[in-house]
Structure 1
Amino acid sequence: MDLARLKEIEKKLLWLACWTIHNANHLREKTDGLKVGGHQASSASMVSIMTALYFHSLRPQDRVAVKPHASPVFHAIQYLMGNQTRERLENFRGYGGAQSYPSRTKDVDDVDFSTGSVGLGVAITAFTSMVQDYIAAKPWAKTRAEGRMIALVGDAELDEGNVYEALQEGWKHGLRNTWWIIDYNRQSLDGVVREGLARRIESIFGAFGWDVVRLKYGALQRAAFDEPGGEALKRWIDDCPNALYSALTFQGGAAWRKRLQDDIGDQGKVSALIGRRSDAELQELMTNLGGHCLETLTDAFARIDHDRPVAFVAYTIKGWNTPLAGHKDNHSGLMTPAQMDAFKQQMGVRDGREWDLDHGLDAFLKEVPFFREGRRRHSAGRLATPGPVFLDDRELSTQAGFGKILDALAKSGSSLADRIVTTSPDVTVSTNLGPWVNRRGLFAREEIADTFRDERVPSAQKWRFDRQGQHIELGIAEMNLFLLLGAAGLSHSLFGERLLPVGTLYDPFIARGLDALNYACYQDARFLLAATPSGVTLAPEGGAHQSVGTPLIGMAQDGLASFEPAYLDELSIVMDWAFDYMQRDGKADRDENTWLRDETGGSVYLRLSTRALEQPASRDTAEFRQGVIDGAYWLRKPGPNAEVVIAYQGVVAPEAIEAAGRIGDDRRDIGVLAVTSADRLNAGWHAAMRMRKRGQKGATSHIERLLADVPRHCTLISVTDGHPATLAWLGGVIGHRTVALGVEHFGQTGTIADLYRHFGIDADAIVAAASEIAPGRPIRLAGQVA
């Protein structure tokens, strides 16, 4: 190990990180007067750890999630290695500049995992390690060296509950090759952490089978402990409250001297130990914690010669080696221009050379193992989809249909089926994944026998676990589901192997894992999410298990195409399209049919139901298939004199069709619009409007074409088992009056008929809405006097 070179790099990174933030806040022109921010102190506490890792201990196959507030250090590392530009650093936290927090999709440098929502970047490393094990067990996988999945963790991130959910799940699955390096600087946004937290952290990790490595003392401190009086100094350090240690660090060497002399000075050995050091040397000694000692860090990392998960508790100083070190308010604090001038002198940087890379380290940097092979993002080829798997059931729910389609794929033996990996948070059977699991098995690195089967206990489920299994069973934690989907959905980029992850959960509990869902989409992970049962249609369960707002989540979530098919043929078409869509990685050119950027691909969300519907006769035409994917088709096209069009989404289809038949006796040319994706219709409409503003006058979306010939005096009645806003916007497309029916309140228990009537989404409610409409006159709502 070239310790001298590492110390040069450490100093350079500390300077670049602090200067990047200073430039953004004090030197770059600001038009809005707002503080830019950037966390100089949180960056400083990580500099030594990241130097030791990136320039000594990491290998190209290792993957790292950098704590959000250390992003300036990460960008400085990449700048040093030629993977980041000065222009982007100068525009840090600006439009088009280096991102506030490391981002796979928005940064140009080599980001392994996006971070930002604290705790999630930590936990995804555990699930990525599980995905690595899954891939390595498969006969189709190329042989690759196993990488370590490493999280650089702020100690305050350990307040996040999802971290502990991940710990338990990792224990269940025999987690390997995972390092969490905890930046134990003992300061959070608003204060100093509670005393004794380190011991609690260590005991928790130990309970889940992790090795725990405490990096508390640096080499200088350990050497001082060996001097006469050193044992007393060590005891004082161990007993010193966190807040006092931070305060003395900020005050400096003279304050340390006075406090130590007052507390343990005896005019003998201890006094001599203290007296042999100048104030500057005493400050260096007392801040030489394990997390700031390159020798200690590199030795600790090198000693790990096994694949068990490891938690390194690295004691650090927040704001280390800067004027902010130790101050209570340093989390979002910034060095003043005067402090920066002094810091610049301390770092030996000349005016006008602040971004300089003339450091004499080129030969050393070329040989750094982690960077030697260049960028570490892989790719994987696309797998052909077999075409829609059409079912011949005359009456079935979309939830059951989903299970049968997957079962048919399992039987097919296709390459695509071999790359599907399913997962569910303890609702495998109740979301109809049972048939798939029976055929393809559950995954475990070590075989687990099906004891019930061996003991001849009758069961519909074949719960065998082995390396060839294609279902990963999770406990009841939706955050873990989305983190696993996110990790598996990046397998093509992280490991060069294509996986097609499919996750199922109860639709209302999307909200419990929404942060992790958003996180997975932000990273551009690719997966298929089947959420079922949905809406108040799950009648007897009551409000806690009935989802109202999830259609709006599907519409609002970037990177996620949301569908709510009513019928099996629609579901079959969407699933086949989804498996292809998940693999796309094309340019951002828009499809002029919808004005959506479908070639870029993404993830897919299916909102399914337990309500069995009578299925329509065969209607497999190219036009029908395209309409299903684009988001809507005419189930009954309106005539030229139409007064009412009923637009429905999902399992309220029978109510819409019944109402149309009843209304048809009194209203002319009634139309019925089957909406399969309010999300894609709405997104295409907005995209087309943007393109017209940019000069493409002929840009017309799918929903605009569908409604173009509907007379202006016609009223749209929209209905869905979800929030009415899901379809209420349809009236704004051309300018039709709209009555939006849906569910706005927590559900009730009862039958489907009871609840549809209660919430006004049954056929009677649709008919009543139509009966109050007269062409050319305002809609008269219930209770109004004519």
Structure 2
Amino acid sequence: MGSETIGRVEAIEALTKKSLWLASWMIHHANHIRPNVDGVKVGGHQASSASMAALLSTLYFGVLKPEDRVAVKPHAAPVFHAIQYLMGRQSREKLIDFRAFGGAQSYPSRTKDTDDVDFSTGSVGLGVAFSAFASMIQDYVRAKDWARKDVAEGRMIALAGDAELDEGNIYECLLEGWKHGLRNCWWIIDYNRQSLDGVVREGLYERIEAIFSAFGWTVVTLKYGALQRAAFAEPGGERLKAWIDACPNALYSALMFRGGAAWRERLSDEIGDQGAVSALLARRSDDELAALMANLGGHCVESLLEQFEAAGSDQPTVFIAYTVKGWGTPLAGHKDNHAGQMTAAQMAQLQAAHKVRAGHEWDKLEGLDKAAALEAFLAKVPFNSKTSRRLTSPAVPTIGPQFIGTGATSTQAAFGKILDAIARTDSPLAQRIVTTSPDVTVSTNLGAWVNRRNLFASDEMADLFQKEAIPSTQKWRFGPDGQHMELGIAEMNLFLMLGAAGLSHSLFGERLLPIGTLYDPFIARGLDALNYACYQDARFLLVATPSGVSLAGEGGAHQSISSPLIGMAQDGLASFEPAFADELAVIMDWAFDYMQRSGDARPDLADWPRDVTGGSVYLRLSTRALEQVPRQVDADLSRDIIRGAYWLKPPTPECTTVIAYQGVLASEAIAAAAEIGGDRRNVAVLAVTSADRLNAGWQAAQRGRLHGESPEPSHIEALLAEVPQAAGIVTAIDAHPATLGWLGSVLGHRTMALGVEHFGQTGTVNDLYRHFDIDARAIVQAARAATGRR
């Protein structure tokens, strides 16, 4: 046994076979053997895993280095988990519980899986584009003089199904990659020519090749395996090759499903010549002929190794690997195989073919020859490092709130001034901030920051307007020291860039503090990518402006309504909407710390669930200037600002009305309180800085009580406990009223919720506030209704 030897190609072929078996068995076990108590389909994509078995196995067992990062095609998760299991990075128990609670996830997840997932995938197309932005961030980090020298430069690799190329974010990403000089990025396309609903259209390959070539990518086509190339070299082989090249996708798939006899019949009818071609076919049994026709480039380890290792340049490269969906299984080629599963009889057939004994289905090397040699091979696989591939970086110290002047200002303007004040310090905090924006850098008040910290590019580019002595407020100098990543108008790209930068500490060993700005209503354009970034636990500060119908002149298309509800509902994102500049200064200082937190304690036991482990932060700001409150911000007020609310005017025992506002309606709330209360102290004003944190803290307290615990009252419960039960609450926000309407449920106060429920329109601020009943007059009327008075 100890003298066994095995060649590299032979070893990877054996491990490919084992990965295919484990993936297929994993799905079969989850759907047909493991008890299904609720009767809901489990699923698992046997055919989509099978088409990638050789591609993934060749990469992980033969090509990848520990510094390389991979986004795996979502539907190939089972074969990925199987490969991780063979390398000792995944447990048998997790495979047995595939798609069960606590088991291996349906799609690779860097936060939910315990094996070595670099990038979560699942929303198709996003993992592909994310790899390109990760490459850009790697270049950004490595260009800095503070970058670690002990971290090797890696390739950012994505494996995608050909149907994923329907996703528009992939093409938006291609343009951005071209602009930023994308390097060290591989995309490997599983070109099986089948999708969920059928077989892809003819001529797709030529379109794919043309698009990538236009953006400067190297295109490598992996169409023929070694068996096919050898056959083509035989007499008559050129005619077989011509037939394969001309064969429609649907026909090739159908013949793959029907098998060797069908291949022989079709080929004999269409190119049989009673000569060299017929002899070529006759030399092969039906099984050998089926194996030959299935030996496409994407299933041939020898061909894959040859092409992957030949791609030594750092130029972005796309490999178009021809494959068969369901390769190596009885499902191969059938047009319904996307969500289809093998029957018990078909699984028994596969099990016999793989020489897997009953009761040994989960054994790592069951049914393989030269097991000892394979164990030795696995131990030497470069990617199979025993150390964690997730890097760490120390936290960057914050520098305290950067307060600005007390004159009338908007929160958007205050954001620009605070960031400019940070830029002036040239502190470690300032050095680690990287900003980005989808072509709205100036209009979201990043201009001062960019003027001081410059734009990033691998090579120096002078500002030609400045060079030609043309007056301009913007000094657009590009260089390796720059700290702003310029993006075009594509919010998906913004969130993918933020996600990649927000994982830099783990991927590249250097912490960045990414800040992204955009127009608040257009969060919805990139919502899938925002959710994806949060799901990966990326850390960033999202600054969205301007808020609501307060952007009066721009009309309904530019006026946000639902975005605070998005901020409340999005996991991994703490949302705030401050009204005053001093609140914003406190929140931004806290955010830079919060973005860097990590911890193993249960976050659901915290006063606000994410306070233990940290996350990303969303600021909803406004362009409308407000008179600032003259005050000193002490520790108690700072704490309450972060917890989500404080009393701008506290209640008294005689209080009859509470006006609770969030954001820019502060002036209307204060004016209404003055009109109702006069000199009497019967009106309280609650300044809400974060409905998100208030609500989450309240929910956490309720969950604790539900589980028999005795938590401290949540922050909102403690605040409203000071309000007499008979008092009414009016909530007001320039957004959907449901954002604050839940406050009455906390302690049972009668509540009237004011806000905007419909698309806005153009007009003045006063016009629109009056139209949507969120002006001071409407707040006064609502207060009377909430307290039972006319």
Q: CA deviation at 1:449?
A: 1.4
Q: CA deviation at 1:667?
A: 7.3
- Following the alignment from structure 1 to structure 2, what is the Cα–Cα distance between the partners of residues 618 and 500? 30
- Say if 1:483 and 1:590 are closer, same or farther in 2 by CA, change over 3 A: closer
Supply the AA of the counterpart residue of 1:643.
Answer: T
- State yes or no: 1:209 paired with 2:216: yes
Q: CA deviation at 1:614?
A: 0.7
Supply the AA of the counterpart residue of 1:244.
Answer: L
Deviations 1:577-633 (A, max 9, x none): 000000001233459883433020000000000001111112311110011000000
Supply the AA of the counterpart residue of 2:403.
Answer: F
Contact 1:691 1:699 in 2 (8 A): no
- Following the alignment from structure 2 to structure 1, what is the Cα–Cα distance between the partners of residues 752 and 680? 16
- Following the alignment from structure 2 to structure 1, what is the Cα–Cα distance between the partners of residues 80 and 455? 38
Paired position in structure 2 for 1:784: none
Match of 2:38 among 32, 40, 45: 32
Mapping for residues 219-258 of structure 1, pairs under 5 Å? 219-258=226-265
Paired position in structure 1 for 2:309: 302
Q: CA deviation at 1:695?
A: 2.1
Deviations 1:303-360 (A, max 9, x none): 0121000000000000001000000100000000111011100111010000012443
Paired position in structure 1 for 2:562: 549
- Say if 1:190 and 1:591 are closer, same or farther in 2 by CA, change over 3 A: closer
- Following the alignment from structure 1 to structure 2, what is the Cα–Cα distance between the partners of residues 755 and 588? 47
Paired position in structure 1 for 2:416: 403
- State yes or no: 1:122 paired with 2:128: yes
Q: CA deviation at 1:297?
A: 0.2
3-state DSSP of counterpart to 2:586:
helix
- State yes or no: 1:278 paired with 2:307: no
Q: Quick one: percent identity of the two aligned structures? A: 69
Contact 1:60 1:376 in 2 (8 A): yes
Match of 2:96 among 79, 90, 97: 90
- State yes or no: 1:5 paired with 2:11: yes
3-state DSSP of counterpart to 2:423:
helix
- Following the alignment from structure 1 to structure 2, what is the Cα–Cα distance between the partners of residues 375 and 206? 36
Q: What is the CA RMSD across the aligned residues, in angstroms? A: 1.2
- State yes or no: 1:762 paired with 2:768: no
Paired position in structure 1 for 2:63: 57
Contact 2:552 2:764 in 1 (8 A): yes
- State yes or no: 1:476 paired with 2:482: no
3-state DSSP of counterpart to 1:153:
strand
- State yes or no: 1:467 paired with 2:467: no
Mapping for residues 338-349 of structure 1, pairs under 5 Å? 338-349=345-356
Contact 1:649 1:674 in 2 (8 A): yes
- Following the alignment from structure 2 to structure 1, what is the Cα–Cα distance between the partners of residues 431 and 618? 21
- Following the alignment from structure 2 to structure 1, what is the Cα–Cα distance between the partners of residues 477 and 756? 42
Supply the AA of the counterpart residue of 1:323.
Answer: P
- Say if 1:697 and 1:273 are closer, same or farther in 2 by CA, change over 3 A: same
Paired position in structure 2 for 1:530: 543
Paired position in structure 1 for 2:3: none
Contact 1:589 1:597 in 2 (8 A): no
3-state DSSP of counterpart to 2:619:
strand
Contact 1:379 1:492 in 2 (8 A): yes
Match of 1:43 among 23, 45, 49: 49
3-state DSSP of counterpart to 1:326:
coil
Q: Is 668-677 or 629-638 further displaced after alignment?
A: 668-677
3-state DSSP of counterpart to 2:609:
coil
Match of 2:25 among 7, 16, 19: 19
- Following the alignment from structure 1 to structure 2, what is the Cα–Cα distance between the partners of residues 698 and 512? 39
Contact 1:692 1:699 in 2 (8 A): no
Paired position in structure 1 for 2:715: 702
Paired position in structure 1 for 2:297: 290
Paired position in structure 2 for 1:616: 629
- State yes or no: 1:150 paired with 2:157: yes
Supply the AA of the counterpart residue of 1:574.
Answer: I
3-state DSSP of counterpart to 1:604:
strand
Supply the AA of the counterpart residue of 2:250.
Answer: A
Deviations 1:124-146 (A, max 9, x none): 00000000000000000012321
Q: Is 246-255 or 582-591 further displaced after alignment?
A: 582-591
Contact 1:503 1:529 in 2 (8 A): yes
- Following the alignment from structure 2 to structure 1, what is the Cα–Cα distance between the partners of residues 649 and 638? 16
- Following the alignment from structure 1 to structure 2, what is the Cα–Cα distance between the partners of residues 737 and 564? 24
Paired position in structure 2 for 1:600: 613
Supply the AA of the counterpart residue of 1:269.
Answer: A
- Following the alignment from structure 1 to structure 2, what is the Cα–Cα distance between the partners of residues 89 and 150? 24
3-state DSSP of counterpart to 1:689:
helix
Q: CA deviation at 1:491?
A: 0.3
Structure 2: gaps (5+ residues):
1-6, 366-370
3-state DSSP of counterpart to 2:389:
coil
TM-score (norm 1): 0.98
Paired position in structure 2 for 1:199: 206
Deviations 1:552-583 (A, max 9, x none): 00000000000000000000000000000000
Mapping for residues 152-551 of structure 1, pairs under 5 Å? 152-358=159-365, 359-360=371-372, 361-551=374-564
Supply the AA of the counterpart residue of 1:170.
Answer: G
Contact 1:594 1:630 in 2 (8 A): no
Contact 1:21 1:40 in 2 (8 A): yes
User: Between Structure 1 and Structure 2, how many residues are aligned?
Assistant: 777
3-state DSSP of counterpart to 2:376:
helix
Mapping for residues 540-579 of structure 1, pairs under 5 Å? 540-579=553-592
Deviations 1:705-736 (A, max 9, x none): 00012111111000000000000000000001
Paired position in structure 2 for 1:111: 117
TM-score (norm 2): 0.97
- Following the alignment from structure 1 to structure 2, what is the Cα–Cα distance between the partners of residues 590 and 428? 35
Q: CA deviation at 1:393?
A: 3.6
- Following the alignment from structure 2 to structure 1, what is the Cα–Cα distance between the partners of residues 108 and 446? 36
- Say if 1:198 and 1:612 are closer, same or farther in 2 by CA, change over 3 A: same
- Following the alignment from structure 1 to structure 2, what is the Cα–Cα distance between the partners of residues 60 and 11? 23
